[in-house]
Structure 1
Amino acid sequence: MAAMEITHGVNINATIDSARRGTDNNIEIVVVAQTPPTGDGEERKRHLQLYQAALSGDWDTAEGIYELSEGEVNARITKRGETALHIAAAAEHTHFVKQLVRKMSTEALTYKNNAGNTAFCFAAISGVEALAKVMMDKKRDLAMTPGRGNLLPIYMATLLGHRGMVSYLYDETNGQLTDGDRIALLVALINSDMYDVAWKMIRAHPGLAHARDEHQLTALHALAQKSFSVFKLARMKKLMHKQALDLIQYLWERVVLLDDATISRQIGEPWPLIFTAAERGNLDFLTILIRLYPDLIFKVDQDTYSIFHIAILNRHEDIFRIIYQIGSIKNLITTYKDKEGNNMLHLAAKLLESPSRLNVIPGAALQLQRELLWFESLGGALYFVSFIDDHSRKIWATCLKSKDQVLDVFKDFHARVERETGKKLKCVRADNGGEYRGPFEKYCREHGIKLEKTVPKTPQQNGVAERMNRTIVERIRCMLSHAKLPKSFWGEAMKTAVAMINLSPSVPLEFDVPNIVWKGKDVSYTHLRVFGCRAFVHVPRDERSKLDSKTKQCIFLGSEDDEFGYRLWDPKEKKIVRSRDVIFFEDQTIEDFEQKEKVESATFIPSNSNPRPTQQLPLMLANHGGDLQNDDNGGFLIEPLVGDSEATNDDIDVIPEQDMQEAPDEPQLRSFSLCFGNNKLVLEGYTDADMAGDVDSRKSTSGYLMKFAGGAVSWQSRLQKCVALSTTEAEYIALTEGGKELLWMKKFLHELGLVQENFVLHCDSQSAIHLSKHPTFHSRSKHIEVRYQWIRDAMEMKSFVVEKIHTDNNASDMMTKPLPREKFEFCRKEVGLVEPPKLNFTN
């Protein structure tokens, strides 16, 4: 990610230009503080204070200045002509912007800095929708006020990939855009993979299918330039993939309705898009075009190359396979020769004879292997050897005690990969180390493997292996540091680092996954755990006596493809153990736990300023670790304990202040306690659901939250078991799940002797509430699974009451979707999560 500084708006524009040229598609904008005041004397001082306040979001300071000098609200405060609104918008301070906009005049909102950008442009570039909404609420035409280079804010947001901002601005400006604006924006949307907004635009304006932008490019030209792996990302972005293919189909269906001469111009000017697609490996694009317009297979470029010739030159096997689907026509195309008289077979042979081509373009699996050697690990290993497949970029790595083991390890590797793939290993590239001479060279000759050795002191010739070696070492260092493990565990960290690389999207593969490319099928991530985390391993019955603990505490080291279960380190017995029965605490390391246990087993944090013993309450709350503590307001706190899960209130003592000062330093984290005590022993519930939030299955998420005495006692956020066809159905399913939980807790309270007149379940969907109360809607909802119709019987039996609540007051919103900070803080307070009072042991 490239970091671009903003100094009074100058480099923001450099960022836009960079993105517009396509030189960087992943740009982070960073606001840097400098000294920008204008004017002299007191005015200069005020401008400096306003600049610093806007940069840090300090509205109180800015408001004080404005009360004394009202004219400064609309003033330009920097040498580059920015107002305080420019600075606050660039720094993404929503609250500051909201307060400032209320005071500013509508004319001042359109002020441009010396580079030509308004504050609204800065908001669009930031991607924070709330900033744009605040400004547009006061002046609706801000979105159509261009910035530097005559670029509209929506175009800037598109170039920087802010999907939410682009969608919002398009809905606001759709009717105001010109034809030129629309085609330029459409091409930019495609380049930024925003196919959903592109679909909105093309459906509303079909004529854009063959329109051209200022560079004479059409939407199809932009789609043709997409690399093969972008359309291969269905595994990770299925919806985006489908939208892209549907968009290609829609555009091309309208182009083929034109006459042949116009079609030729559409696909041939300013450059032939089908040959670009073939060079990029864009199989899906070519398949759609050829299906609707078969004559494209006869097209050739200035070198007399068809798409099949280009597929050979760029090693795109999938595109070349199209030739087998065109019948006897392939016999004609295979005779095509270039200007030097080479046909397809000649091109393929020349490609294999050129070592430089192997360095540039990944070939078939095992075409070229790159490997390297790399102090003492568990088991006494001093090195590791790694093998990298040049096509899939999959890595195999093994620890070595000495370098003379390289040949034996290579033999095992050779047999394994050839058995897995059914293909022969053709070429190996290594550095010029002694371990690759003599026996190693002989083995390669006997098996027909070409051994390429780099020139001494020229590591760049084996750059892939050298860079991967550095990546692995850096990850080992970070993993050992995070897990607080000694260097002797480097071998285990190395295995985990390699496994993570093989399971992660790779830039050379254009974000495909090495293991998927190697195996040709999807991989699982369910076995992944945090390296070095605290874990409890089940002790088999034959390894313990009746009074021994059934678990032992270990450190998680990883899991391997050729081993079942997990590998763990037993710190007491100093050995590696394997087990499948393990419980993980992935947010803790052994060192963190032991340190916190020493402090917190002897520390009591009271709920007021006077230390006093904890009063035991006859109430057990399920699923919440911690102990109950009295509160002065008649309520009580659940204070979370990080110590042993079997700790009780008897383990907590009050200690003097001087003893606490000797305790180890704790991380400065913001902690909360679950607080009960609003003097109302009332149980009430809240439910909510999103709509098709899971991209892969399109299932919705149900969430419910139960409150008692002002604090949360039960909650759940879970993917629904069926696909909801509407928001009403999704909310109805969530309402049913929440109703079942509320009914269970109602019976539990009755067993405790607590009586409540009405039990209320809150829902923010009026249609879902109406559906639950009126069985006559059955004809419209008969597809909903039977088990969710239970809520109607519960309503008729008056087991509880369902009431409408405004979505802004629904505390269960945080169970189903990410929220803005203000709404999240509201939900946190609503469920009783409060910051505990500070310690005060003075008399």
Structure 2
Amino acid sequence: MGANYKRMRPLNYLISPDSIEAQEKNHSICIALYNAALNNDWKAAEKIISADTRVKTAAITKLEETILHVAVGAQNVEFVEKLLKLLSDEDVLLQDSRENTAFSYAAASGNLMIAQLLMRKNEGLPFIRGGEGVSPLYLAASFGRAQMASFLYPKTIHILQVGERKGLFLQCINFGIYDLALKMFKEDISLVRARDLSNNTALHILAGRPKAFPEQDKYNSMKHLMKSSNNDDHHDHMNESSNEALKLVRELWRETLNNKDENCFRQIIDTPSKLLFDATESGNFMFLFELIRVCPDLLIERNEDDQTIFHVAALKGHKRIFNLIHEIGFKKDIITSMEDKFGNNLLHLAGTFVASSHEYDYGMRKILQLRQEFEWFKIYIYIFFVTCRK
């Protein structure tokens, strides 16, 4: 565990003067120091510090920020380096009114060089929590600072409680730090059940992020999905070509399927919403790919409106997902004529999309819209004939 540190506050004489005369003078000093730290003007700051050495550890803002806080927040490396030569190892532990050290500012800004400079002065800085007990590691993840989070993780992960680990894991996913999330999951597979404040699991968060995954036109058919379940070559190719988000989904899904408790399995994929349909609504084809290729039975799952993913894809206009219907054999005809609880079949839903597509995209995307409408018209005609045949 990291060492315990009591809160250290800066001198307040500049922001809490004894008289009106001192208030005016000190205010001018605070403004001058603030601007010097903000604008990387070391000469101006050095002149003021030389006149009164106390200012280097004094609060210069209402938030009780010191010169170091401001300079670190502004990411002025040269200024910070020179200022640190005048500070002791305890001076860098000073916290503002929100209990954040300058190191917390470095973690939030993601400046590794400044973080390393501060740690050379005091190695305990990464262990000091800021406002609301937030660690610098969690703060870095919350600001999407991937390099900083990866830098701090091996140094401070041991100080986090179980709940904090779960929070950090989900925060990494929320802010796209998938490589660190993957590392954390491999170290603790129980994180597959971790949930955020909205009760979402990691898989639920990823289901709604189609842009997190690479476009894989090669895997645009159900044949690839079915064959790939036992295809080592496919596995190798995917490992080489996919990004960290895709690898994370694969690992999370594998662990989910390893769960022999049906109730627990259902809890993960159906609460707070149905995972499969979250991905379909967002058009997340690659996410669906990973789920369906090892669990094709999911294709006949229904949502609360008694719809399959094909009904939702038709309604939302996700042609790539919908086109999988052409490659599922005889089930295609069953699903095509299947009605949801509103009495709509695929013919109605595909027709609804084609009709509604006329209501937007009149500008520069007109050609793309017409092409899209034509593709959906072909799908519409296909469903029409299947329905008539029945």
TM range (shorter): 0.7 to 0.9
Larger radius of gyration: 1
Partner of residue 187 from structure 1, selected from 170, 174, 177: 170
**Which of residues 123, 126, 137 in structure 2 aligns to 1:154?**
137
Which position in structure 2 is the counterpart of 1:255? 256
Larger % of helix: which?
2
Inter-partner Cα distance in structure 2 for 1:104 and 1:186:
35
Partner of 2:54: 71
Measured in 1, the distance between the counterparts of 2:312 and 2:375 equals 26
Provide Cα deviations, 1:749-788, integer angstroms capped at 9, x if missing partner: xxxxxxxxxxxxxxxxxxxxxxxxxxxxxxxxxxxxxxxx
- Structure 2 counterpart of 1:652: none
Alpha-carbon distance, 1:234 to partner:
6.7
The sequence identity of aligned pairs, in percent, is 35
2:306 aligned residue: 304
Structure with the bigger percentage of strand:
1
The residue that corresponds to 2:233 in the other structure is none
Matched, 1:98 2:81: yes
The structure with higher relative contact order (CA 8 Å, sep 6+) is 2
| CA spacing shift, 1:49–1:351, aligned 2, 3 Å | closer
Q: Is the 8 A contact 1:224 1:276 kept in 2?
A: yes
- In the aligned structure 1, how far is the partner of 2:82 from the partner of 2:147? 23
Q: Distance in 2 between matches of 1:269 and 1:125?
A: 32
Deviation at 1:280, TM superposition (A): 0.8
Could you say which residue in structure 2 is the equivalent of 1:314?
Answer: 316
Measured after TM superposition, the shift of residue 233 of structure 1 is 4.9
Provide the rounded CA distance (Å) in 1 between the counterparts of 2:240 and 2:97.
42
| Alignment of 1:389 onto 2:377 | no
Counterpart for residue 339 of structure 2: 337
Given residue 182 of structure 1, which amino acid in structure 2 is its aligned partner? R
Q: CA deviation at 1:332?
A: 3.4
Indicate which of 92, 104, 109 corresponds to 1:109: 92
User: What's the TM-score, normalizing by structure 2?
Assistant: 0.76
For 2:255, the aligned partner's letter is R
TM-superposed CA distance for 1:272, in Å, is: 1.7
1:72-221 map, 5 Å: 72-221=55-204
- Measured after TM superposition, the shift of residue 335 of structure 1 is 3.8
Matches of residues 456-605 of structure 1 in structure 2 within 5 Å? Answer: none
What CA distance in whole angstroms lies between the structure 1 residues aligned with 2:303 and 2:33? 61
Query: What is the CA–CA distance in structure 2 between the aligned matches of 1:343 and 1:178, rounded to whole Å?
Result: 50
Q: Distance in 2 between matches of 1:165 and 1:98?
A: 19
Report the residue type matching 1:245 in the other structure: L
Change over 3 Å in CA distance of 1:234–1:292 after alignment to 2: closer
Indicate how the Cα distance of structure 1 residues 73 and 265 shifts in structure 2: closer, same or farther if over 3 A, else same: same
Aligned to 1:432: none
Return the letter of the residue paired with 1:119: A
Change (3 A) 1:109 1:239: farther
CA distance in 1 between partners of 2:300 and 2:213 (Å): 25
Q: Among 276, 280, 283, which residue is 1:281 paired with?
A: 283
Q: Secondary structure at the match of 1:389?
A: helix
Q: How does 1:343-362 map to 2 (within 5 A)?
A: 343-354=345-356, 357-359=357-359
TM-superposition CA deviations, 1:631-683 (whole Å, max 9, x none): xxxxxxxxxxxxxxxxxxxxxxxxxxxxxxxxxxxxxxxxxxxxxxxxxxxxx
Matches within 5 A, 1:785-796: none
Give the Cα–Cα distance (whole angstroms) in 2 for the partners of residues 167 and 425 of structure 1.
45
Which residue does 1:384 correspond to in 2?
none
Deviations 1:487-543 (A, max 9, x none): xxxxxxxxxxxxxxxxxxxxxxxxxxxxxxxxxxxxxxxxxxxxxxxxxxxxxxxxx
Counterpart Cα distance in 2 of 1:388 and 1:329: 35
Q: Distance in 2 between matches of 1:186 and 1:240?
A: 24
Deviation at 1:313, TM superposition (A): 0.8
Equivalent runs, 1:2-21 vs 2, <5 Å: none
Structure 1 pair 78/300, CA: closer, same or farther in 2 (3 Å)? same
How many Å apart are 1:140 and its aligned residue?
2.8
> How far off is 1:282 after superposition?
0.8
Counterpart amino acid of 1:152? S
Give the distance between the partners of 1:358 and 1:141, measured in 2 at CA: 61
TM-score between both structures, scaled by the size of structure 1: 0.37
Correspondence 1:365-384 to 2 at 5 A: 370=363
Is the contact made by 1:38 and 1:44 (CA closer than 8 Å) also made in structure 2?
A: no
Question: Residues 314 and 95 from structure 1, CA distance in 2 versus in 1: closer, same or farther, beyond 3 angstroms?
Answer: same
Using the TM superposition, give the Cα deviation of residue 180 of structure 1 relative to its aligned residue in structure 2, in angstroms: 2.1
